[in-house]
Amino acid sequence: MKRKIYSNMLYIAFVSILFTGALFLVVTYNRYMDQMKENVQTEASYLMQSLNEDENQNLENYHRISGTRITLINIDGTVKFDSSEPAKSLPNHGNRPEFRQAVEAGIGENTRISDTLNKQTYYYALKLDSGKVLRFAVETQTIYKQIMDIIPITLLMAGFVLVLSFFLSRVLTERIVEPINKIDLEHPEDERYYDELAPLLGRIHKQNIAIEDKVKELKQRQLEFSAITSNMSEGFLVLNKDLVVLTCNESALNIFNIKKEQCENHNIMAISRSKCMRKSIEYAVNQIPFEETMKLHGRRYMILTNPVLDEGKLRGIVVLLVDVTEKKKREALRQEFSANVSHELKTPLTTISGYAELIQAGIVKPEDIAGFSGKIHKEALRMIDMIDDIIKISKLDENELDLERTEIDLYQLIQEIQESLRMKARKQQVQLNVIGTPTKIEGIKQVLYDMFYNLMGNGIKYNNPGGKVVVTVSKMNGISTVIVEDNGIGIPNEDQSRVFERFYRVDKSHSSERKGTGLGLSIVKHAAKLHHAKIDLDSTVGKGTKFTVSFYPVKSE
Ligand code: ADP
């Protein structure tokens, strides 16, 4: 704008100077011409008067003084006297326009190229009283010369004015532009310097308000977006079409184990070069959604890439990383569990089928049939126990239990279990004692029942005749604790970390005597997890085993 105003000003100045110069020269020329004509006319009229009084004067003398060419023409056009050429050598001047005019009107004038001198000449003719015509001739060339003489000074002046214009244009441009530069576009409504700018500033003001509203809305959306993505456990990344990360959430940074500045504004390929990531991005670039599991830092993630399209063109890519490590582990466990279940069920079934086959074949003596049937019955009962446990553990696995939590008094619950285990304890000649005070927790009754039934049952089962099981229920510092302690056979150190595994039994031959399924402690572990409880195991072979279950207060379960 500054440039434009400046150049326009210069242009105007230049044209004005040129025009003024030319006008000045034309006016000066005309002025000179008029001056010259006036002089000639005055001179001529003086001489005319003089000649009217005495025509026989020496015109040569007069010419010498004035320097003007003087011609005296007779009435017939013949030249009587001429100050430049001998009169006789000159042709008849009867047809000269100034002569004819003078004859007719007393005065005549004409400007033309002189036949005699071949130069642009001004002629002025006056008729004398005698009828002769006195003619003055002046070359106009001298005026051109005078004009030419003043051209350099004119140009010099024009140059000076031009330089001045340069300077003034610059100063004026600055002055015009300065207030515009100083306009506060944040508050254009307060600007009053140029009235002409008011409509424009008004529009800017309106635009400012609209932009402000838009920015507020965008910020709000950004906040909502950040709140959603930052609370996501899944890794979330948004890439532009050049695969540069525009935004990523905390989980994504944790998954890639990098800092925010190493992620945002970096190409995704610089962040993860894994084959799976490359493949998923390739798919997304080709506008195909992609889904696959990939390994990263020892964990498994489901990577989901989705192209973001606008009018059929790729605008960006959304990448979602879901941690499926636990899911995969559970899947593997389930597979292993199914295999184990089949294996474990096969043993009693083989036994049952073996005994039944013997009876069917008539090999068994009639008096032994009762014993054989008893064995079949025991194995069948073991299978039922096992299936019961399998159902329980599957339900715990799938979270299919009716998970309604109620207030439960652990002491009362343990006493109920003690009651149902009374027979079993008596049979094993084991004393089962419960001590403590009412201790209430929030929990799932059936799950807690199974948990302590298994622990107390094990205390009886893995004990010696005459042994005892003591269950203590207490509460301290908000922590409810149940200790199940027996003085039975104990668990070897090397097995202690594994007894909670499914189907794990310390010594299979030894345990099978005691008819375990290997699922009891597994159920205990699950149940504890459901109640955010901690289990501690302390056992010495030959001395006994102590299970401590601690329930921590949970604000919202
Ligand atoms: P099971 O049905 O065989 O009892 P559990 O999962 O309850 O299965 O126990 C796993 C193994 O841990 C048992 O086979 C047993 O060897 C050992 N065990 C569990 N409780 C005790 C205990 N109180 N005393 C000694 N050994 C125990």
Report pLDDT for 324: 92
The token pair at 254 is 């944790």
Answer whether residue 170 is part of any domain: no
Whether 96 and 123 have beta carbons less than 8 Å apart is answered as yes
Answer whether residue 420 is part of any domain: yes
Alpha-carbon torsion 509, 514, 516, 522, what sign? negative
Answer whether residue 155 is part of any domain: no
- In short, whether 316's Cβ falls inside 6 Å of ligand 1 is no
- What region, left, alpha or beta, does residue 407 occupy, with left being phi > 0 and alpha being psi -120 to 50 degrees? beta
| Angle of the 445-461 helix axis to the 410-428 helix axis, nearest 10 | 30
- Does 472 lie in the same domain as 456? yes
- In short, whether 521's Cβ falls inside 6 Å of ligand 1 is yes
- Does 203 lie in the same domain as 236? no
Please indicate, yes or no, whether the overall pTM of this predicted structure exceeds 0.75: no
296, 323, 350 — which closes off a domain? 323
- Does 269 lie in the same domain as 285? yes
Answer whether residue 175 is part of any domain: no
* Ligand 1 atom nearest to CA at 463: 24
Which portions of the chain are predicted below pLDDT 70? 117, 399-403, 508-515, 554-557
Answer whether residue 538 is part of any domain: yes
C-alpha 325 – ligand 1 centre gap (Å): 30
- Does 467 lie in the same domain as 506? yes
Query: What one-letter code names the amino acid at 11?
Result: Y
Whether 265 and 242 have beta carbons less than 8 Å apart is answered as no
For 7, phi then psi, to 5°, come to -65, -35
* Residue 371 host element (H or E): helix 366-398
Task: Compute the residue count for the chain.
Answer: 557
- In short, whether 511's Cβ falls inside 6 Å of ligand 1 is yes
Q: In this structure, how many other beta carbons lie within 10 angstroms of the beta carbon of residue 429?
A: 12
Report pLDDT for 557: 42
- Does 142 lie in the same domain as 12? yes
Answer whether residue 530 is part of any domain: yes
- Residue range(s) defining the domain that contains residue 392: 334-398
What CATH number corresponds to the domain at position 365? Answer: 1.10.287.130
323, 343, 361 — which closes off a domain? 323
Tokens 């636990």 label which residue?
326
What CATH number corresponds to the domain at position 544? Answer: 3.30.565.10
Report pLDDT for 343: 85
Total structural domains within the chain: 5
Report pLDDT for 402: 59
Pocket test for ligand 1, best of 385, 451, 521, 524 (most atoms within 8 A of CB): 521
Answer whether residue 173 is part of any domain: no
What CATH number corresponds to the domain at position 308? Answer: 3.30.450.20
Which residues lie below 8 Å from residue 190, measured CB to CB, with a gap of 6+?
184
- Does 543 lie in the same domain as 413? yes
